[in-house]
Amino acid sequence: MKTYILAANSFDEDTNYINHAFQMAKKTGARLVFFHLHNISIHAINARLPYESILETIKIAKDKADAFVTNLEKKYQVQTTLDFALGDFYQQLQRSIKEHQAVLLVMGIHKKYFEENLLGSTTTNTIHKVDIPVLTVPETYTYNPLKKILFAFDIERGLPAEALKKIETIAKAYKSVVEIFYVNDNPSDNKQDLINNMKASLQSTGDTRFLFNSVTSNTVVDEVKKELTRFEANLLVMVPYEYGFWLSLIHRSKTNLITSNLEVPLLTLHSNDVL
């Protein structure tokens, strides 16, 4: 059975990203690990409470988390395990991923993070620090079955075959339509031969319906955002790269172009992901 990790700092079962993670796990037959990093209250630290008192506050928090996860498991009928952690977020998260052999990490994003940074600093760092797919869900997004998936890629890097296989796996589970989309920021190079080869390869990928679309523009992130709206996608998929397309998205001056109205989840894949 596949395992997804839900990294959560909320104990509100009506939180959209929590609902999204459970609905997705139920649809795909996965089990969930509810990962929660407990931070000891600064007031408790400043008050210099005895060690036994601090342990008691940790026990109370863990009992609360246990009860919350038990209620979620009953509500969604999804096998769920609590991973209650203390310490450094990234170290504990990577430990949890390895320990549970997770194939997907789900995180929620607050609206203010979209307005300030690409997905917020914690999530941006997480995308680059973990070696499994990361699904980030806006706090305002209400779960909907994946009917349309937009895969935005860097044509200079070519069409990543491994990522495409993973997208096809998701598309088959939801019977989704997948649009392969790229922005050509060099009008003098239409890359027609490359485009034709890509289209030909997509015709023999199985029973998933693939569409292919492109535009010529020097505003990459703006065109991706426009295409999300035009296609009415409810999932955006990207493969992060160290240079080029991905950096054009995380550059602070361009952040608001794609994030200010981004209301659908973002799935980031790596070349060695197994989903």
Final residue in a domain of this structure, among 112, 138, 164? 138
Residue 206 neighbours by CB under 8 Å, 6+ apart: 168, 172
Q: Please answer whether residues 149 and 269 qualify as being in contact, where contact means their C-beta atoms are separated by less than 8 angstroms.
A: no
pLDDT-derived band of residue 256, with 50, 70 and 90 as boundaries?
Answer: very low
Domain span including residue 75: 3-138
For the chain, the domain total comes to 2
Final residue in a domain of this structure, among 119, 138, 157? 138
- Range 190-212 burial, b when 16+ CB lie within 10 A, else e: ebeeebeebeeebeebeebebee
- Residues 131, 164, single domain; the answer is no
Residue 259's pLDDT is: 44
Residue 254's pLDDT is: 40
Highest mean pLDDT out of 47-56, 111-120, 130-139: 130-139
pLDDT-derived band of residue 220, with 50, 70 and 90 as boundaries?
Answer: confident
Measured distance CA(108)–CA(10) in Å, rounded = 10
For residue 274, pLDDT beyond 50: no
- Residues 103, 179, single domain; the answer is no
CATH number, position 262: 3.40.50.620
- The percentage of the chain sitting over the pLDDT mark of 90, rounded to a whole number, equals 37
- Residues 82, 159, single domain; the answer is no
Mean pLDDT of 49-65: 83
State the DSSP code for 141: P
- Residues 255, 181, single domain; the answer is yes
- Closest Cα to residue 4, out of 76, 61, 53, 67? 76
pLDDT digits 0-9 by tens, 165-188: 888 888 888 889 999 988 877 666
- Residues 96, 157, single domain; the answer is no
Q: Is 257 inside any structural domain?
A: yes
pLDDT digits 0-9 by tens, 82-131: 999 998 999 999 999 999 999 999 998 776 554 445 444 577 678 778 88
Least confident of 29-33, 131-135, 194-198, 209-213: 194-198
Residue 89's pLDDT is: 92
